Structure 1
Amino acid sequence: MTLALRQPMTLPEFLAWEERQELRHEFDGFQPVAMTGGTVAHAIIQRNLAISIGGRLRGKPCAFYGSDLKVVTARTSRYPDGTVSCTKAASDSMTVPEPVVIFEVLSRSTASTDHITKNREYASITSVQRYVMLEQERIGATVFSRSEAGWKGDVLADDAILVMPEIGIEVPLLELYEGLDLSGSNDETPEDVPAR
């Protein structure tokens, strides 16, 4: 849901405004966008991110943060589904300092924003080395990473290993979907659907 405003806000105006709100909002560079609820699949993938990524980073200099903390760009403010930073954050901070890896779980309603708009925003943050977009309806990911050749994307299939050398860990993609039943509810053909 997007809030209707008479004139665009600036990022500092938004950040001051959001502090007074009960609900979380992202800022798209012009206006607040209210955060809506997700699906069970989304929640399971988020949980698995915290367990798999966070667990592998225990005792290391980098830390995994969930969707309660925002990532601020030059013009926008976002709440990714997961973020890794190797910069120590103050315990009362509401923003991830110098994010290195950002995770978004795709949904039908946000996929184009995640693929295009947020991709550009996250690429503009010099500390971000990798942006991982996880499919929700099937096992798969689109991963953008920073290299000498620029900001390049790869598509990972279900048997792939998500390699993140910038934080020193690797995770089998299947692990991020553990406990999720993807047994083809979207693959039904008309003859497979029972008559009502």
Structure 2
Amino acid sequence: MTAPARELMTIPEFLAWSERHEEARYELAAGEIVAMPREQPEQVTAKGKIWRAVAEALARAGAPCEAYVDGLGVAVDEHTVHAPDILVNCGDPITTEERLAPAPIVIVELLWPTSDPKDANVKREDYFRVASLAHYLVVDPARRAVLHYRRDAAATFRPETVTDGSIRLDPPGVDLALRDIFA
């Protein structure tokens, strides 16, 4: 005897559900709700520093974009929403009612010793399906390195490990200095 198939949760259903469960952070992965682990103080501090570096780089360049730390999701398909550590959204300002970034161009995830490599691989592949995404940065604070995936003209993401200097994010046309990320 076969168990009845469970219906996958859609993004609108997830967003409505998550409004009633704000005590923690959640993602929607292939129609299933996934609780995100509680962050340690050093993780929160690192995210704040990186967000500040990104926001200041955008301001210096006059880019028509905004940097966000937590709070906004990225829709991958109708059953998947990930919550990146930091994202840059370009175009019209996001209204206070919006829970999803409409045009994420840069996504930043931090790597920690407790990070699940399988989860990181799934998210990376999911993010690569987001049409507006031009850059995916995986920051490793322990190694003081950034794995920068850049979408090329053929829409393929090319990886480069950066350990000093700066990272060119074009679009939106900014340089992100590693000394600012790891300040």
Shift of 1:174: 2.4
- Stretches of 4+ aligned residues off by more than 4 angstroms: none
Q: State the AA in 2 paired with 1:39.
A: Q
Higher mean C-alpha displacement, 8-17 vs 57-66:
8-17
Greater strand content: 2
Match of 1:64 in 2: 67
CA distance in 2, matches of 1:109, 1:76: 23
Where does residue 164 of structure 1 map in the other structure? 169
Q: Which of 143, 160, 167 is 1:154 aligned to? A: 160
Tell me which of the two structures has the higher relative contact order, counting C-alpha pairs closer than 8 angstroms and 6 or more residues apart: 2
Per-residue deviation, residues 110-139 of structure 1 (Å, max 9, x unmatched): 341454111111110110000000003220
**Kindly tell me: are residues 62 and 99 of structure 1, through their superposed partners in 2, closer, same or farther at Cα, counting changes over 3 Å?**
same
Alignment of 1:78-97 (within 5 A): 78-88=82-92, 89-97=94-102
CA distance in 1, matches of 2:86, 2:65: 13
Give the letter for the 1:153 counterpart: P
Aligned length: 172
Q: Which amino acid aligns with 1:33?
A: V
Structure 1 residues 92 and 14, CA gap change in structure 2 (3 angstroms): closer
Q: Distance in 1 between matches of 2:172 and 2:119?
A: 22
Measure how far apart 1:29 and its partner are: 1.0
Residues 111, 175 of structure 1: alpha-carbon distance in 2 compared, 3 angstrom cutoff: farther
Instruction: Structure 2 unaligned segments of length 5 or more: list them.
Output: none
- 2: CA distance between counterparts of 1:145 and 1:8? 35
Q: TM-score, normalised by structure 2?
A: 0.85
Distance 2:108 2:118 in 1: 14
Pairing 1:97-176 to 2, within 5 Å after superposition: 97-113=102-118, 115-149=120-154, 150-157=156-163, 159-176=164-181
- State the AA in 2 paired with 1:16: A
**Aligned residue number for residue 16 of structure 1:** 16
Q: Equivalent residue of 1:73, what SS?
A: strand
Stretches of structure 1 that go unaligned for 5 or more consecutive residues are 1-5, 179-196
Change in Cα spacing, 1:32 to 1:171, as seen in structure 2 (3 Å) is: same
